[in-house]
Amino acid sequence: MKITLKDGSIREYSEPKSVIEIAKDISEGLARVACAGEVNGERVDLRTVISEDCALSILTFEDKGGRDTFRHTASHIMAQAIKRLYPNVKLAIGPSIDDGFYYDIDSDEPVTAEHVEAIEAEMKKIVKEALPLERFELPREEAIRFFEEKNEPYKVELIRDLPEDAVISLYRQGEFTDLCAGPHLMSTKPVKAIKLTRLAGAYWRGNEKNKMLTRIYGTAYPKASELEAYLTMLEEAKKRDHRKIGKEMGLFMFAEEGPGFPFFLPKGMVLKNTLMEYWREIHDREGYVEISTPVILNRKLWETSGHWDHYKENMYTTVIDDEDYAIKPMNCPGGMLVYKSQPRSYRDLPLRMGEIGLVHRHEKSGALHGLMRVRCFNQDDAHIFMTPDQIRDEIKGVVSLIDEVYQLFGFDYFVELSTRPENSMGTDEEWEMATNGLRDALEDMGLEYKVNEGDGAFYGPKIDFHLVDAIGRTWQCGTIQLDFQLPQRFEAEYIGPDGEPHRPIMIHRVCFGSIERFIGILTEHFEGKFPTWLAPVQVKVLPISDKYGDYAHKVYATLKAAGIRTEIDERSEKIGYKIREARNERVPYMLVVGQKEEEAGLVSVRSRFLGDEGQKDLSEFIAAVKQEIATRERREEEAK
């Protein structure tokens, strides 16, 4: 039996071996930290016995699959603790998620912080018991009876949804047994650092017509130090919450009359428009033309594009003159109509069309989260139409543009290549050509990337850019999607050098993604302390007293005339209070004016960056700030 490991090395065995035995054969250290195995791409328990040639990866907490296994086991530990303390609670589901795990439960009484504290303490006892997790199977009907006897109706409902001939997988740890496909750790012992983090409501199976359950979130790590670092990050994230900062700075709001539909306030519109001006500047430089397409288009268009079949549950629909219409969830079908609006030649290609288009998508109310998850947003789309021999260069051009944007804001990022999903259109040959086109461009540029199997769009593979913000969180924003399908479905053509019609290839791409979401990310990344070029208010004039109001207004007018976004604080407050208020408003520069400044024709400059910068000539100050704005410089903040 030959086992091909992740590094390409091969190990041979004369008899079947479990994954954990192979891990021990590689090294005792690896076996100690192993969480699961991956056999021919399928995640399995460490106890799984391998009896034939295969590719094997040993997954640790450093691997996503290993981390998911570790935290899925933690969710079972939580469920066991809940049933020990509160036997009448009914269990629903408990998966791992990106930053931890949760379990949905149905409790007769409201779950409080005291309950959560008791559950966490019981979980730590279960970890110390080092209970082995054992997988076993039951026929479907026997599994139904098993959970009926335990009075677990949600488990019974899940099993009844499975085929009649299904064999049901369960996991046992001590006195507790749960319905689960796995995999899991070998015992509860490795889950040494646990923290339950919050409570939320969740409809059973995500359906608003079903009962509201209680969702208990938590996270788990192999080491206490890793948990402590995560909890520190959570505290920092609370301080940076864009919803809190957005309210303090007067950027945006939400109203009960439109859940999930953001309202941008005057200062928020300055921020939004400044971002869009930057977008237009760099796209004009790179040869893009800007278009605008309608928000509502008829059903026939969405059937042609495939959205009606593949995306209808996320679309808002209406009827006009007895005909079905949909509010656009994406800009691309409108872009196809623009492309087809006139004959095209190979000489016109590549054709780069950009659109900051307002789109609407139906999101469940429980998923809404400030600007991060909304029901309408502006997407900074571009659609590039090209010939096959232009694919590599166009993708490389887009990658360079996205890299430039993210570097401007100080984001590190990593790249994923997402491949064909199950729910897809097109032939194997088209998908292979499209995927190779993206892969080749990344390799030409020497960019490292991970392969995200099965996470492509239904019409083509994609490159996703994951930003890393100031406190280490990741956000998926930019994407490049290569599409052979829409040009075929819309019968788009161009006349080639041979005088014959040919089918163009299409790239869908965004830099910001959702502009609203990007503003949320930027707000948290900068903690509201935007670079001067982006700040809604760039300078605040602070007269020491009413006596210097005339001079303050003269300074204010001069700044405004120079194109600098300026406010003046004329309140009858002490100057120290005004300075603190301006700092709380995260204004980059404050100009204090009093008797000395008026007599000398100067201003006293205080900034977020250096604190007290001393007296300066107003014209020199304006020149320096305009230079900072023009170059979009990011000055370092003063030490706290």
Phi and psi angles of residue 147, each rounded to the nearest 5 degrees, phi first = -80, -25
The DSSP secondary-structure symbol of 15 reads: S
- Quote the DSSP letter at residue 185: -
Among this protein's residues, is 578 annotated catalytic? Answer: no
Residue from 80, 379, 390, 485 carrying the catalytic annotation: 379
CA distance 271 to 531: 11
Paired residues of 433 in beta bridges: none
Residue 638: predicted pLDDT: 67
List CB contacts of 323: < 8 A, sequence separation 6 or more: 298, 299
Find the catalytic residue in 155, 508, 525, 578.
Answer: 508
Alpha-carbon span 512 to 356, nearest angstrom: 10
One-letter amino acid at 95 equals: P
Q: How many CA atoms lie within 13 A of 289 on its CB side?
A: 11
Q: Which of 383, 502, 540, 578 is catalytic?
A: 383
What's the confidence (pLDDT) of residue 159?
A: 97
Count CA atoms closer than 13 A to 564's CA, side-chain side. 30
217: which 2 tokens? 């979130």
Q: Enter the tokens of residue 573.
A: 């407050």
Q: Which of 267, 272, 352, 462 is labelled catalytic?
A: 462
Q: Which amino acid is at 394?
A: E
Q: Rounded distance, CA 88 to CA 107, Å? A: 7
Q: How far is CA 58 from the centre of its chain?
A: 28
Annotated active-site residue 84? The verdict is: no
* Helix, coil or strand: residue 372: coil
- Say whether 455 is catalytic: no
So what's the pLDDT on residue 268? 97
In the DSSP assignment, the letter for residue 85 is H
Catalytic residue among 35, 180, 332, 477: 332
Token pair recorded at residue 419: 């491949």
- Single-letter amino acid, residue 415: V
In angstroms, rounded to a whole number, what is the distance separating the alpha carbons of residues 569 and 388? 59
Looking at the DSSP bridge assignments, the partners of residue 11 are 3
Where helices occur in 265-341 by DSSP H, the ranges are 266-285, 299-305, 307-310, 332-339
Give the pLDDT score at 404: 95
Is 462 labeled as catalytic in the residue annotation?
Answer: yes
Residue that the structure tokens 């769009």 belong to: 457
Contact 354, 291 (CB under 8 A): yes
> Dihedral (C-alpha) 368, 369, 371, 377: value to the nearest 10 degrees?
-10
Q: What is the pLDDT of residue 473?
A: 87
Nearest to 602 by CA among 589, 590, 614, 615: 615
Q: Which amino acid is at 552?
A: A
Cα separation, 247 vs 265, whole angstroms: 10
Question: CA–CA separation, 69 vs 328, rounded Å?
Answer: 38
Q: For residue 537, which phi and psi values (nearest 5 degrees)? A: -120, 120
The distance between the two most distant Cα atoms of the chain, rounded to a whole number of Å, is: 94
Question: Quick check: is 379 catalytic?
Answer: yes
Per-10-residue mean pLDDT, the chain, length 640: 88 94 94 95 94 94 95 98 96 94 95 95 97 96 96 96 93 97 96 95 88 96 95 92 95 94 97 97 97 96 90 92 94 95 96 96 87 95 94 92 94 91 81 86 89 80 91 89 89 96 94 95 96 97 94 96 96 93 95 94 94 94 97 79
Instruction: Look at the block and give the residue holding tokens 């977020």.
Output: 608
Residues 6+ apart with CB under 8 A from 611: 638
Coil, helix or strand at residue 63: coil
In DSSP terms, 3 is beta-bridged to 11, 54
Spatial neighbors of 419 by CB under 8 A, at least 6 apart, are: 431, 435, 451, 452, 453, 454, 455, 456, 461
| CA proximity to 78, closest of 238, 181, 199 | 199
